[in-house]
Every structure is written in structure tokens, then in C-alpha cells.
């Protein structure tokens, strides 16, 4: 098929893409909804299988994480789709998407609706059920025009992106090593600009242990974990630095039991984002120091879990060139 004809073919897919998006958006695939994720995984399997030389459904790794109550649990995630085309071709492209959304099964926002001819509101419409449909149809178009077998591709769709891709990170990074370029089908900025760089990010859980005591008879024997955590939360928040693009969000604090007991445990969950690997390393060192200082207080101990699971993505010269090519193609279209 010629270039001109393929543009016509892409335009002809509009209605079926809208129908598919409405259907996919109506299936809840919140990261914790493993049943919904299994359904949506099956939908994507059926869609990508006819295009691929081979397709597999892989298990995510289950990962131990500390929750907001300070309990360590193994978290299970939905499955991963991996499919490849022409894996021996000299040029290899990795295309990545995620099947999960941020909306849990019991959240009020569940049904998609067409607002007007250019807007659909629905769970995951932009992030990223729509993105995956763009990827799918771009590949369907490409397979109709490619003739020289010089380019191979691999698609990976994970199910745990919204909680940090902990169960799929190893697979993604090993696949990326074999690719000349990678494209992620997250939404563009509101004005349509493609995103080439983004901050690194980490989720952390700090647990402070103190000493429980009766609030009346022996309060002086107690060590109030909530009070120490309130200091710690302020210290952690003060790591923010607007000029350097460092943001800290103290997101959740829990602790304590009843009125007359000095609380012996408090848990704080927070997110940190920064722009450079250097800042990431220095923030990790500062967090270690904060934890050491908390543990040095008489009668207290502190434990930090979590990590910077996403390194900062900075624009390299190769990224810049790729973005220019994509921009040029959009301009030509």
C-alpha cells in the first residue's frame, strides 16, 4: 500500500477506534483489580496476536512492599503481554504501554461517555487505553507499508505501571537494552506536545517506632511515635527545592490506637521527584541520614522502605534526534 493510501486507511479506522476505546474504557482495570486486568489482557491479546510473529502472556513478579500501616506484604500484579515481530531485523523498536489505570473497581468514575466529536471522557481514555489503540493502529498501518523487513518491533504491555512497575521493571529494562529506540504511549501534554523528558520518582514508607505507655500513670516512660513522625514529615518535606525541580509530597500518615495510650508506631508515605540522577543520589543519601538521626533518638527506631524506582529521563542527543524525526513526520502528515 502506498503512503497516500495508508493515510486514507488510518482515517477509515476512526469509528472503530472510538468504538474500541469506549469498550476498553468500560472494563475496569485498576492496578489492584486482577480480574478486570485479566479481561483487558485478553482483549489486547486478541488485538495484537494477528500482527505478531509470537505473543506471550507473562507473570509479573510479586514484590514485597510496606503498606500505610507499616505491614510488609507481597503485592501481586496483573499479567504482562509481550509480542514480537521480525526479531532478527537489524533495527529494533520497543513500544511500551500499560493496561492498568488509577481507578479502582469501587471508584465512582467507571463509564466512558462521548462529550463531543473530539472528546471522550472515561477511565483510562487518555492514560492509556487510547495510547495503546494508537500504538496498535500505527503498527497495523506500518505492517501494510513496510516491505524491506529492516525493522522489527516488540510490544510490552504491563499491568502495574500506576503503582511503579515494580513487578515488570526487570523485563522492561532488559527489553530496552535490545532496542535502538523506545516509544511509550503515555498521553501527550494538553497542547499535543510529545514528552521527551520526565522527572525521576520514588515512593517511600517511613516507619517510626516509639514506646507505648499509659497516658495517665506513666506517660514519661512512653516515646510518642506520632510526635517524632510529625518532625520527620516536616524534615522530609523540606527536601523540596523548586529551583532544582525537586518536589516532595508527604502523602499519608497513620499511627496511634486509643486516647489513653502513647502511640508506639507511626507510618508516613511520601513521593519524591527530581530531574537529575545526581539529585536522586543526593536525596537518597539525605533520606538515609534522616533515618539514622531518628533512630539515634533515645527510645526510638526508624525504618525506611521503598526506593527511587524510576530514574530521571533526561533528553540525550539521540532522544532529541528521535523527537525531531517524529515531529517532522507529524508535520508532513
Q: Of 126 and 141, which CB lies nearer to Zn ion in the complex structure?
A: 126
Question: Cis omega before residue 128 (within 30°)?
Answer: yes
For residues 183 and 328, the answer to whether their CB atoms sit within 8 Å is: no
CB neighbourhood size of 324 (10 A): 10
Distance from C-alpha of 114 to C-alpha of 128, rounded to nearest angstrom? 17
Q: Of 249 and 305, which CB lies nearer to Zn ion in the complex structure?
A: 249
Place of cell 513526520: 329
For residues 209 and 301, the answer to whether their CB atoms sit within 8 Å is: yes
Joined together, the cell numbers standing for residue 10 give 488510518
Q: Of 75 and 127, which CB lies nearer to Zn ion in the complex structure?
A: 127
The least CB distance from residue 286 to Zn ion, in Å, is 29
What is the chain's Cα-based Rg? 24
The least CB distance from residue 40 to Zn ion, in Å, is 14
Q: Of 201 and 230, which CB lies nearer to Zn ion in the complex structure?
A: 201
The least CB distance from residue 271 to Zn ion, in Å, is 16
The least CB distance from residue 289 to Zn ion, in Å, is 33
Picking from 21, 14, 65, the residue whose alpha carbon sits closest to that of residue 43 is: 21
Task: Give all strands of the β-sheet with 91-98 in edge-to-edge order.
Answer: 54-58, 80-85, 151-158, 91-98, 181-184
Q: Of 195 and 296, which CB lies nearer to Zn ion in the complex structure?
A: 195
The least CB distance from residue 119 to Zn ion, in Å, is 19
Distance from C-alpha of 312 to C-alpha of 325, rounded to nearest angstrom? 23
For residues 111 and 23, the answer to whether their CB atoms sit within 8 Å is: no
- Can you give the binding site for Zn ion, defined by CB under 5 A? 127-128, 186
Q: Of 100 and 264, which CB lies nearer to Zn ion in the complex structure?
A: 100
The least CB distance from residue 231 to Zn ion, in Å, is 35
Please give the full DSSP string across 189-236, using - where no structure is assigned.
-TTSPPP--B-EEEEEEEEEE-B--BTTT-GGG-B-HHHHHHHHHHHH
The least CB distance from residue 25 to Zn ion, in Å, is 14
The least CB distance from residue 161 to Zn ion, in Å, is 6
Q: Of 60 and 224, which CB lies nearer to Zn ion in the complex structure?
A: 60
Sign of CA dihedral 30, 33, 39, 45: positive
Number of alpha carbons in the 13 Å side-chain half-sphere of residue 23: 11
Q: Of 29 and 265, which CB lies nearer to Zn ion in the complex structure?
A: 29
Q: Of 43 and 127, which CB lies nearer to Zn ion in the complex structure?
A: 127
Picking from 71, 65, 55, 81, the residue whose alpha carbon sits closest to that of residue 32 is: 65
Tell me whether strands 151-158 and 91-98 are parallel, antiparallel or unpaired: parallel
For residues 201 and 113, the answer to whether their CB atoms sit within 8 Å is: no
The least CB distance from residue 99 to Zn ion, in Å, is 10
Amino acid at each position: 500500500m502506498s503512503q497516500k493510501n495508508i493515510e486514507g486507511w488510518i482515517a477509515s479506522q476512526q469509528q472503530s477506534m472510538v468504538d474500541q476505546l469506549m469498550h476498553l474504557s468500560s472494563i475496569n482495570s485498576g492496578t489492584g483489580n486482577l480480574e478486570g486486568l485479566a479481561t483487558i489482557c485478553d482483549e489486547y491479546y486478541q488485538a495484537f496476536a494477528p500482527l505478531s510473529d509470537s505473543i506471550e502472556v507473562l507473570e509479573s513478579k510479586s514484590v514485597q512492599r510496606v503498606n500505610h500501616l507499616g505491614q510488609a506484604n507481597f503485592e501481586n500484579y496483573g499479567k504482562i503481554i509481550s509480542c514480537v515481530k521480525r526479531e532478527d531485523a537489524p533495527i529494533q523498536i520497543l513500544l511500551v504501554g500499560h493496561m492498568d489505570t488509577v481507578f479502582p473497581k469501587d471508584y465512582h468514575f467507571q463509564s466512558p461517555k462521548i462529550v463531543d466529536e473530539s472528546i471522550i471522557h472515561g477511565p483510562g481514555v487518555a492514560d492509556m487505553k487510547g495510547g495503546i489503540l494508537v500504538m496498535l493502529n500505527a503498527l497495523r498501518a506500518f505492517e501494510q507499508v513496510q516491505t524491506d523487513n529492516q525493522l522489527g518491533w516488540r510490544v510490552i504491555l504491563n499491568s502495574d505501571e500506576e503503582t511503579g512497575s515494580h513487578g515488570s521493571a526487570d523485563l522492561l529494562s532488559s527489553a530496552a537494552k535490545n532496542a535502538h529506540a523506545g516509544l511509550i504511549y503515555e498521553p501527550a501534554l494538553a497542547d499535543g506536545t510529545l514528552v521527551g523528558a520526565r522527572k525521576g520518582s520514588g515512593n517511600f514508607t517511613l516507619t517510626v517506632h516509639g514506646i507505648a505507655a499509659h497516658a495517665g500513670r506513666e506517660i514519661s516512660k512512653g516515646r510518642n511515635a506520632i510526635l517524632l513522625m510529625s518532625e520527620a514529615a516536616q524534615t522530609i518535606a523540606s527536601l523540596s527545592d523548586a529551583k532544582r525541580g525537586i518536589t516532595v509530597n508527604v502523602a499519608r500518615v497513620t499511627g496511634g490506637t486509643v486516647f489513653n495510650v502513647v502511640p508506639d508506631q507511626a507510618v508516613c508515605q511520601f513521593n519524591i521527584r527530581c530531574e537529575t540522577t545526581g539529585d536522586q543520589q543526593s536525596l537518597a543519601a539525605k533520606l538515609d541520614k534522616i533515618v539514622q538521626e531518628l533512630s539515634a533518638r533515645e527510645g526510638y527506631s526508624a525504618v525506611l522502605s521503598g526506593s527511587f524506582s524510576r530514574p530521571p529521563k533526561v533528553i540525550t542527543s539521540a532522544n532529541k534526534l528521535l523527537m525531531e524525526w517524529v515531529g517532522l513526520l507529524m508535520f508532513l502528515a
